[in-house]
Chains A and B, each alone.
Chain A
Amino acid sequence: MSTISEKILAKASNQETVSAGDFIKTKVDVALNHDVTSVLAFEAMYQMGAEKVWDPDKVVMILDHVAPPSSINSARVHNVIRDFVKAQDMKNFFDVNSGVCHQVLPEHGFVKPGMLVIGADSHTCTHGAFGAFATGVGSTDMGAVLARGKTWLRVPETIKVNVNGSLGEYVHPKDVILRIAKEIGVSGATYMTLEYHGKVVEEMSVAGRMTLCNMAIEMGGKAGICEADQKTIDWLDQRTSGPYDLVKADKDAVYKETLDLDLTGMEPQVACPHNVDNVKDVSELGKVKINQAFIGSCTNGRLEDLEQAHALLKGRQVHPDVRVLIVPASRAVYKKALQKGIIEDFIDSGAIVSNPSCAACFGGHIGLLGPGERGISTSNRNFRGRQGSPEAEVYLSSASVAAASALTGYITHPEEVA
């Protein structure tokens, strides 16, 4: 009678069963680190008396947030990290030319169903899309993982989210998760796992499931999980090899709550400033003028997102008052888009295509908003100040809505320009 989380955490901590609320000490299968959080974690590791990381092959290091460096200080930090990687004989190192950690990690086969993934980044929950238990931690926790390969966890309660119905032409996984955020609220899943089930999730691509799991943290969640299935295996087989531990929830698993949604007829959704649960139908908004459209990030910077944008932007010109920034989530995504001619069409439309990285998502690299400006973004957070000035406003949407808005200059239903 266990949830997916309970099964994975029981196995990781070498126990028959664990239940929601239990505290466990557990081994970690993969540790994810990036350029903004790792230096503090290295310091914590040294304070714990460790000179060496517990298993260099299980630590993945990615320079993605400020890539390439946009300040002297970030260039310095990158070099501290490169020195650490060399000194620790870590071969799983991805330099500034690679892309966003949550895309690069699975693309290189580091994530498999049934694993416990710990990352020094709050959106580590993304990897639950592969049937893994994945969660973000602070720097002392990561220091302990680096030193010992272990962490402590409270086994989470689970909210079962059943998504059924059939989605309209311009309704995508991002619209699904924004709708879920509207229902659950910004703290409604605190400490908990969101387990996504139902026909919509079964039919969804692996990329779409990554979008669902990515935003579990925006409801306070510890993890988001989709059951691994044949689609997961097919995706993984191109990048790594089994065995895969396809963990399923028991039929009589105990859930804290169940949320049933039938999304037939739902419009594209937009999260309005400054909370992720301030979600409205796109047609409720009226003519909200924008200065920037950002298509990218670990939420929606994958090939299918670029294809959604391409379907609308191809052969047209973006609005002259809008800067349109398109950033593929990884080098692999970039290359595929290039081979398909998508990038060329973006450039012809007047969009800026930048190198794979976090870019405008967190307001620390490129594509900042000035005071009084408004941006539409396919990323995951619209907190005040998240993408630049605290006097700017960020709206969150799918790539389709962002691309449609890029054409008209205001937040637009894709049907209007299709």
Chain B
Amino acid sequence: MLLKGNVWKYGDNVNTDYIIPGRYMELTDPEEMAEKVFEEHDPSFRKGVKPGDIVVGRTNFGCGSSREHAPIALKGNGVSIVLAESFARIFYRNAINIGLPALECPGIHDAAEKGDVLEVDVTGGLVRNLSNGKELRFKPLPPFMVEVLNAGGLAPYLNKTEEW
């Protein structure tokens, strides 16, 4: 799985309230959730994001509530992958489960700036920053998680998988 996109860079503890505020928990339509992404934290994101773009965070990305709205809102804007030094546990699970790759990639925050173009080999475990030539290796996802992502998430994956 090879992904390529522009970087949107954030810091530590990007919580689920920043990604989509709690008052939008009542939304059930992914399109509507996507409209609210980073509404208060970074309104420029929604205006500028392009399909395939990459979100980069530092530590504890996605901390806070267990709402699946947060990864759904990012995916709904075409985000192809979230890279961070570390993730909050439930966000990480929810992201993979809805088919949004989330990868722990030590060193990524220093290696990429906003607007840089990254190429991510998800299965090969390699991030290449095409803007500054830097390369980072990370522990590749295990094959079954790649299968979940390829299927578009855990629900579609299980829908066509007898043995699990």
Distance from B116 Cβ to chain A, minimum over Cβ atoms (Å): 26
Q: Does B155 contact A (CB under 8 A)?
A: yes
Q: B88–A190 contact, CB under 8 A?
A: yes
Q: Does B7 contact A (CB under 8 A)?
A: no
Q: A47–B155 contact, CB under 8 A?
A: yes
Residues of B within 8 A of A37 (CB): 66
- Give 1 or 0 for each of B111-148: 1 = CB within 8 Å of chain A CB: 00000000000000000000000000001001011000
Report Cα–Cα, A140/B155, bound state, in Å. Answer: 7
Q: Does B158 contact A (CB under 8 A)?
A: yes
Which A residue sits closest to B86, measured CB to CB?
A190
Q: A187–B66 contact, CB under 8 A?
A: no
Number of interface residues of B (CB under 8 A): 28
Q: A139–B68 contact, CB under 8 A?
A: yes
Given contacts A44-B155, A143-B155, contact A191 B93 (CB under 8 A): no
Distance from A414 Cβ to chain B, minimum over Cβ atoms (Å): 33
Q: A138–B93 contact, CB under 8 A?
A: yes
Q: B154–A140 contact, CB under 8 A?
A: yes
- Give 1 or 0 for each of A21-40: 1 = CB within 8 Å of chain B CB: 10101000000000001001
Which B residue sits closest to A222, measured CB to CB?
B89
Q: Does B153 contact A (CB under 8 A)?
A: yes
Q: Does A137 contact B (CB under 8 A)?
A: yes
Q: A140–B89 contact, CB under 8 A?
A: no
Range, interface on chain A: 20 to 34
Q: Does A150 contact B (CB under 8 A)?
A: yes
Q: Does B37 contact A (CB under 8 A)?
A: no
Q: B93–A141 contact, CB under 8 A?
A: yes
Residues of A within 8 A of B158 (CB): 48-49, 144, 147-148
Report Cα–Cα, A148/B164, bound state, in Å. Answer: 8
Report Cα–Cα, A122/B60, bound state, in Å. Answer: 16
Q: Does B94 contact A (CB under 8 A)?
A: yes
Interface residues of A in 143-170 (CB under 8 A from B): 143-144, 147-148, 150, 152
A contact residues vs B (CB 8 Å cutoff): 21, 23, 25, 37, 40, 44, 47-49, 122, 136-141, 143-144, 147-148, 150, 152, 186-187, 190-191, 220, 222, 385
